[in-house]
């Protein structure tokens, strides 16, 4: 293994693994390739040169409109939502020390979905749709707080957190189903599409809103990243090294909830991204949290952007939700992980 590169200033220092940097650079190229294909391919195909021309505002009006108003916001939203869900899953897996943990399994996504379906079913006719992200994030936070309180017994252990999360996740799924049964038919149809998970119709204000959430949360994640590697050790050993275990765990769970809640609020319940992306990242790079987070971010963005590209182009004139394709891949991957874990 090559010696790491150390970046150091008076107030900041980071160790950069060159192999991790090379993998991240390769994934960025893959992401750029998917982005170019997403901007070019569709009902109206635009050549690569015309895409670049339209991006700088010098192409035909039709191409510029298609790229800047229809395809670019959708692409950016897919990348940011995938990255947020992937990071949320990585944090949860590190906190509970369980490779099967994800926002879906621990009930965070379920809480956001239940709150959003309740809003769509009963509050949307009298309130602006701008409040939908607030409702989804509030549902995710409330569910996470409930899981954390029920799992508390002189502190929170990873096993109790997982078992409580699975139970609350089932409860939230039942509440979501009940809300859809009680809601009007038109509202239940829109809620069903939202639950599948899609970036269809993403607009620039929504992209700016999601970007704001990421910018607000990432500095806190960078600040706490060094503590995650210690947190993955045994509790007594981590405490012996001076880590404030419960406070660190609470901060990380809060970051995971905010990332997953903001993603679900803007794109619906896209399942399994938080489960798949961290495992792919661990297969590519070393398991130190800093480099792993960067690679997980890129893998999550690639997964959702590629799923949206397939759903939008492969079944024309239909436009299928990205969440459907991610869920199909995630279900198979989850069974594989479960069987491997049992063995």
Residue 29 resides in a domain: no
pLDDT-derived band at 79, boundaries 50, 70, 90: very high
Q: Which of 51, 127, 101 is nearest to 252 (CA)?
A: 101
The reported pLDDT for the residue numbered 118 is 85
Residue 223 lies in a domain: yes
Taking residue 278's Cβ as centre, other Cβ atoms within 10 Å add up to 28
Asked, for residue 124, whether it belongs to a domain, the answer is yes
What domain range is 96 assigned to? 72-342
Q: Is residue 64 in a domain?
A: no
Angle at 321 between CA 316 and CA 325, to 5 degrees: 95
* CATH number, position 148: 1.10.3470.10
Q: What is the CA radius of gyration of the chain?
A: 20
Which residue shows structure tokens 């790079």? 285
Residue recorded with tokens 């394709």: 325
Q: Are 165 and 172 in contact (CB under 8 A)?
A: no
- Residue 42, domain member (yes or no): no
d(CA 225, CA 251): 11
202 three-class SS: coil
92 has pLDDT over 80: yes
Give me the pLDDT at residue 3, please. Answer: 55
Assess if residue 56 is contained within a domain: no
Residues in the chain: 343
* Residue 24, domain member (yes or no): no
Q: Kindly state whether residue 206 falls inside one of the protein's structural domains.
A: yes
The string of pLDDT tens digits covering residues 208-250 is: 989 988 998 888 888 887 777 777 776 666 667 667 777 777 8
Domain count, the chain: 1
Question: pLDDT tens digits, residue range 149-179?
Answer: 888 776 666 677 778 888 888 888 888 888 8
Q: Mean pLDDT, to the nearest integer, of 309-318? A: 86
Strand-pairing partners, residue 14, are: 7
pTM higher than 0.95, yes or no?
no
How many alpha carbons lie under 13 Å from residue 99 in its C-beta half-sphere? Answer: 19
Smallest CA-to-CA distance from 303 within 27, 95, 22 is with: 27
Q: For 47-64, what is each residue's pLDDT tens digit?
A: 888 888 888 877 788 888
Q: What is the pLDDT of residue 1?
A: 47
pLDDT of 305 reads 94
In terms of average pLDDT, the best of 54-58, 268-272, 292-296, 336-340 is 292-296
């Amino acid at each position: 293994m090559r010696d790491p590169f150390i970046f150091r200033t008076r107030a900041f220092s980071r160790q950069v693994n060159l192999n991790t940097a090379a993998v991240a650079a390769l994934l960025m190229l893959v992401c750029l390739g998917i982005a170019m294909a997403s901007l070019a391919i569709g009902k109206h195909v635009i050549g690569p040169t015309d895409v670049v021309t339209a991006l700088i505002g010098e192409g035909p009006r039709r191409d510029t409109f298609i790229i800047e108003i229809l395809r670019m916001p959708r692409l950016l939203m897919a990348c940011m939502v995938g990255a947020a869900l992937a990071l949320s899953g990585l944090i949860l897996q590190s906190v509970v020390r369980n490779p099967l943990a994800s926002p879906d399994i621990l009930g965070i996504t379920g809480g956001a979905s239940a709150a959003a379906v309740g809003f769509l079913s009963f509050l949307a006719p009298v309130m602006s749709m701008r409040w939908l992200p607030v409702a989804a994030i509030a549902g995710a936070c409330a569910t996470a707080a409930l899981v954390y309180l029920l799992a508390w017994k002189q502190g929170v252990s990873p096993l109790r957190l997982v078992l409580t999360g699975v139970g609350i996740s089932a409860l939230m799924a039942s509440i979501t189903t009940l809300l859809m049964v009680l809601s009007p038919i038109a509202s239940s149809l829109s809620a069903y599409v939202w639950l599948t998970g899609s970036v269809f119709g993403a607009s620039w204000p929504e992209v700016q809103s999601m970007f704001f959430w990421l910018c607000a949360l990432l500095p806190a994640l960078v600040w706490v990243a060094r503590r995650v590697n210690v947190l993955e050790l045994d509790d007594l050993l981590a405490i012996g090294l001076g880590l404030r275990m419960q406070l660190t765990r609470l901060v990380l769970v809060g970051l995971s909830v905010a990332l997953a809640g903001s993603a679900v609020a803007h794109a619906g319940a896209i399942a399994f991204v938080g489960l798949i992306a961290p495992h792919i990242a661990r297969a590519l790079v070393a398991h130190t949290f800093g480099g792993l987070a960067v690679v997980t971010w890129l893998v999550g963005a690639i997964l959702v952007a590629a799923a949206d590209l397939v759903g939008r182009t492969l079944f024309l004139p239909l436009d299928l939700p990205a969440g459907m394709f991610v869920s199909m891949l995630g279900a198979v991957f989850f069974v594989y992980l479960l069987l491997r874990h049992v063995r």
